[in-house]
Amino acid sequence: MRIFDPHIHMTSRTTDDYRAMHAAGVRAVVEPAFWLGQPRTSPDSFADYFDGLLGWEPFRAAQFGIRHHCTIGLNPKEANDPRCAPVIDLLPRYLAKDGVVAVGEIGFDNGTPAEERAFAAQLALAVEHGLPALVHTPHRDKAGGTARSLAVVADSGIDPSYVVLDHLNEVTVDEVAASGCWMGFSIYPDTKMTPDRMVRILQRHGTERMLVNSAADWGHSDPLLTRATGEAMLAAGFGADDVDRVLWRNPVAFYGQSGRLDLTDAPGATAPAAHFEGNSILRGDS
């Protein structure tokens, strides 16, 4: 089983997670820029974070045989902080970089006017740069927030095939399916989807335009739930080709629209991670 996790926050995870993910079949990931839990106080802190997503994290992932890509954007929660508003002006220089395969996470958190302005501005940047967009649907009032997200997407003029609405569930999937956008589902303990619920959605809606991710981050989460979903699909009667489509070919198709995916074998896929002067992970030249 080969797995491409299209939404996971590896900055929050350990090297043990990378080892376990590789053993489970994960060979590629996309890490969306998101809220780190502690409010950031200036655009400079975002610049440092974006640089880490483009530099250190792909290097770290490669040591364990996993290709790492990212999405860049001002997340909806911090779009409400006026100190962070200038981050929008930083984005064009990052959206031009090879490792960036989409604009995101963008969308709504509380549904404020500030969030909507940032959302619309970043969809315009996605159109300008020819990139897909990863849209976060809110945890509160998910149905209303999803409907409002679809309206903003429609107003932007972006091709729906370039948009994934993530963190969907049984309540929101029908509307997104009808929109032409991609459908993203986070298999995440307690607060989002489970493998069995995901299987039931796939039985009803099929496998087209479906993305399954772990959204693993600093919360109670599990980066191996993509694998668990594949196993649940097989147990429910789906074939190996169905599993491969959902867990590999679909994310490749969606993010491949950026023209920037690198799915060649990462160094750690064929040799163990090297040590450097006694350190537990190979260090960069800097």
Q: Confidence band (pLDDT; 50, 70, 90) for 280?
A: low
**Residue 248 to residues 27, 81, 85, 182, Cα–Cα distance (Å):** 9, 36, 35, 15
pLDDT tens digit string along 152-201? Answer: 999 999 999 999 999 999 999 999 999 999 999 999 887 888 999 999 99
pLDDT at 160: 98
How far apart (Å, rounded) are the C-alpha atoms in residues 174 and 169? 9
pLDDT at 13: 93
Q: Is the pLDDT of residue 285 over 60?
A: no
**Residue 12 to residues 5, 8, 32, 166, 168, Cα–Cα distance (Å):** 15, 9, 12, 19, 22
Q: Confidence band (pLDDT; 50, 70, 90) for 286?
A: very low
The answer to whether the beta carbons of residues 157 and 133 sit under 8 Å apart is no
Q: What average pLDDT does the segment 207-223 reach? A: 91
3-state helix, strand, coil in the chain (%, to 5): 45, 15, 40
Q: Is the pLDDT of residue 283 over 80?
A: no
pLDDT tens digit string along 86-145? Answer: 999 999 999 999 999 999 999 999 999 999 999 999 999 999 999 999 999 998 899 999
Q: What average pLDDT does the segment 7-16 reach? A: 94
What's CA 166's distance to the chain center, in Å?
8
The answer to whether the beta carbons of residues 88 and 103 sit under 8 Å apart is no
Residue 83's CB is within 10 A of a number of other CB atoms, namely 13
**3-state SS, residue 52:** helix
pLDDT tens digit string along 123-136? Answer: 999 999 999 999 99
Residue 30, φ and ψ in degrees, nearest 5:
-120, 130
> Which residue's entry shows tokens 């409010």?
39
pLDDT tens digit string along 43-92? Answer: 999 999 999 999 999 999 999 999 999 999 999 999 999 999 999 999 99
**3-state SS, residue 19:** helix
